[in-house]
Chain A
Amino acid sequence: MPKRKLDPLPAAAFQIMLALAGGDLHGYAVMRQVEEQTGGRLRLGPGTLYGSIQTLLEGKLIEEVDRPEKIEVRSERRRYYRLTVAGRKMARSEAEKMADVLRVARTRKILRGDYV
């Protein structure tokens, strides 16, 4: 089941995986990270964010981890998520697919050379 839901990989799920690739994050941080890495185009609402997180958890692409000790300042309980090995692999293959698309687009002169 989870495979079918993640094939094709939804944009929100891919962005969450990319955000988590930099390190373990909690929900709100993921949302901020996604917003930042998309230049403010994609702001995940709670429903989309946690729905995607649940999908990724079911697909074992990310996992929930214990709270890192260094952030103990706030008393709020937050759950942190980490990209699994499978998730990293999948994110890479997804990025490669996009790179292929980019290459084609560049050869067709759709994109100019100053991109990636």
Chain B
Amino acid sequence: MSEKMYIRLLRLYPSRFRKEYEGEALQLIRDRLRDETGFFKRARLLWDLVADVLVGLPQANRNSYGATEAASLSLNAEGIPSFKVLVEEPIGRGSILLGGTLSLATIVAFGFLLSRSMAHLPVPGSNGRMSPIEAVVERLNRATTPDTPISGPEEVSRSTSVGASERQPRPWPAAAASTSKNGRMSSIEAVVERPNRATTPDTPISGPEEVSGSTSVGASERQPRPRPAASASTSKSHASALLPESGNVAGGQNHIVSIPTRNPNEHSLYLTTQLRAGEPSAWRGTLTDAFGRPVRLAEVHLIGGHGELMARTAVDGSFAFSELTSGDYEVVVVLGGREVAHLKALHLSAISSRSRLTLASGGRLLVSRPGKLP
């Protein structure tokens, strides 16, 4: 057995023993290696050392290596409590490694908990129907606009299409409410008010013709359909484009686009866009939550073939894109650095006061100029 091997064996002994006697023990081995040569004696030495570890280890562990100093200390200060320092050596490498590993594991576990999606967890103060984002937004709104009425989902239709529902007490807002009462908003909803006839006198399309469900735009406009059938189809298809029959709206148009949130259990967010005369390529809108309350400090991203455009919502939830070209857009709403809502395809073409908003198949929203329709 070489000296190095015995050094490894010595590691089994208590550190205090090694500190005290390691040099002596190695010296003894060296002496024996020097004195005992030959196969038989070396084999005997090896046997001795192995047996010695087995016999001597328990004894070395039993000894209290600080007892000799502690005895004199206790004689000097008898009856007075005194602290005895038994271990005076620096922290071992093993302890540092263990501590480091445990700290790392704690940090990793904590980081994992933080990075997990907390969307499914209820936020204190919110009822079961609200998502955490909505609860936060509600609290923010309550702080800024305390007079904002907080009620059920019926608010959606009322606040987002105020002009139409007040001037036109027609049953269609009730229909819209009925779709949202069951808690599951449709993926795409478009509520379009009739363009003002004064500003668009050449609009050749009457009310019922404009109602289009999930069918293509052209077909629904060329074949006039009776209104009851149309409204039934909209409620069935959950993708509704509701039009009042005779809209004399003085302002612009309100287009409500529901953007599905990332979490399917949450309510959608709503984009209300207003198209005004004289602003052909501008797209103004308001971002609201399912209860019609504005969502502020959110980023509305339009990702299209020409790149990405971004507008930030103001306190009242309004945002504006000044230069928009026609084409297909993806709409992404980012709130607090996280993508909260995503609409795959929003088709915008030639937005103007004459534009008409219709819903095409596949959740595509068409904003088109009537004159160019086939």
Decide whether A and B are members of one complex. Answer: yes
A binding-site residues for B, Cβ under 8 Å? 1-2, 5, 10, 27-28, 31, 43-55, 57-58, 76-79
Q: Are B52 and A58 in contact (CB under 8 A)?
A: no
Q: Are A51 and B56 in contact (CB under 8 A)?
A: yes
Chain B residues lying within 8 Å of A48, measured Cβ to Cβ, are 52, 55-56, 59
Q: Does B63 contact A (CB under 8 A)?
A: yes
Q: From B20, which residue of chain A is reached at the shortest CB distance?
A: A54
Q: From A64, which residue of chain B is reached at the shortest CB distance?
A: B68
Q: How large is the interface on B (under 10, 10 to 19, 20 to 34, 35 or more residues)?
A: 20 to 34
Min Cβ gap B135→A in Å is 65
Chain A residues lying within 8 Å of B150, measured Cβ to Cβ, are none
Q: Are A76 and B27 in contact (CB under 8 A)?
A: yes
Give the contacting residue for A2; candidates B44, B55, B67; CB below 8 A: B67
Q: Are A47 and B60 in contact (CB under 8 A)?
A: yes
Q: Does B31 contact A (CB under 8 A)?
A: yes
Min Cβ gap A75→B in Å is 12
Q: Which of B17, B52, B59, B67 has the most CB of A within 10 A?
A: B59
Min Cβ gap B302→A in Å is 79
Chain B residues lying within 8 Å of A1, measured Cβ to Cβ, are 64, 67
A-B pairs with beta carbons under 8 Å apart, 21 shown: A1-B67, A2-B67, A27-B24, A27-B25, A27-B28, A28-B27, A45-B51, A46-B6, A47-B52, A47-B53, A47-B57, A47-B59, A48-B52, A48-B59, A49-B56, A50-B17, A50-B20, A50-B25, A57-B68, A78-B24, A78-B27
Known: A45-B51, A57-B68. A51 touches B24 (CB 8 A): no
Q: Are B27 and A51 in contact (CB under 8 A)?
A: no
Min Cβ gap B195→A in Å is 100
Q: Are B64 and A58 in contact (CB under 8 A)?
A: yes
- Once the chains are docked, how many angstroms separate the CA of A27 from the CA of B51? 18
- Once the chains are docked, how many angstroms separate the CA of A79 from the CA of B21? 10
User: What is the predominant secondary structure among interface residues of chain B facing chain A?
Assistant: helix
Q: Mark B13-34, 1 if CB is under 8 A from A, else 0.
A: 1000100110111111101100
Min Cβ gap A11→B in Å is 11
Q: Are B56 and A47 in contact (CB under 8 A)?
A: yes
Q: Does B120 contact A (CB under 8 A)?
A: no
Q: Does B49 contact A (CB under 8 A)?
A: yes
Q: A27-B28, A47-B13, A51-B60 are in contact. List 20 more A-B contacts (CB 8 A).
A: A1-B67, A2-B67, A28-B31, A43-B48, A45-B55, A45-B56, A46-B6, A46-B52, A47-B25, A48-B56, A49-B25, A49-B28, A50-B25, A50-B56, A54-B17, A54-B63, A54-B65, A58-B63, A58-B64, A58-B68
Give the contacting residue for A50; candidates B6, B24, B51; CB below 8 A: B24
Q: Are B25 and A55 in contact (CB under 8 A)?
A: no
Known: A27-B24, A77-B23. A51 touches B49 (CB 8 A): no
Give the contacting residue for B24; candidates A2, A5, A46, A52; CB below 8 A: A46
Q: Are B27 and A27 in contact (CB under 8 A)?
A: yes
Q: From A13, which residue of chain B is reached at the shortest CB distance?
A: B59
- Once the chains are docked, how many angstroms separate the CA of A44 from the CA of B21? 15
Chain B residues lying within 8 Å of A46, measured Cβ to Cβ, are 6, 21, 24-26, 28-29, 49, 52, 56
Q: Are B62 and A5 in contact (CB under 8 A)?
A: yes
Q: From B23, which residue of chain A is reached at the shortest CB distance?
A: A77
Min Cβ gap A30→B in Å is 9
- Once the chains are docked, how many angstroms separate the CA of A45 from the CA of B67? 24
Q: From A30, which residue of chain B is reached at the shortest CB distance?
A: B28
- Once the chains are docked, how many angstroms separate the CA of A44 from the CA of B13? 16
Min Cβ gap A55→B in Å is 6
Q: Mark B58-81, 1 if CB is under 8 A from A, else 0.
A: 011011110110000000000000
Q: Are B68 and A45 in contact (CB under 8 A)?
A: no
Q: From B25, which residue of chain A is reached at the shortest CB distance?
A: A46
Min Cβ gap B240→A in Å is 89
8 Å CB contacts to A: which residues of B246-273? none
Q: Are A31 and B28 in contact (CB under 8 A)?
A: yes
Q: From A10, which residue of chain B is reached at the shortest CB distance?
A: B59
- Once the chains are docked, how many angstroms separate the CA of A1 from the CA of B27? 29
Chain B residues lying within 8 Å of A55, measured Cβ to Cβ, are 59, 62-63
Q: Are A45 and B59 in contact (CB under 8 A)?
A: no
Q: From B55, which residue of chain A is reached at the shortest CB distance?
A: A48
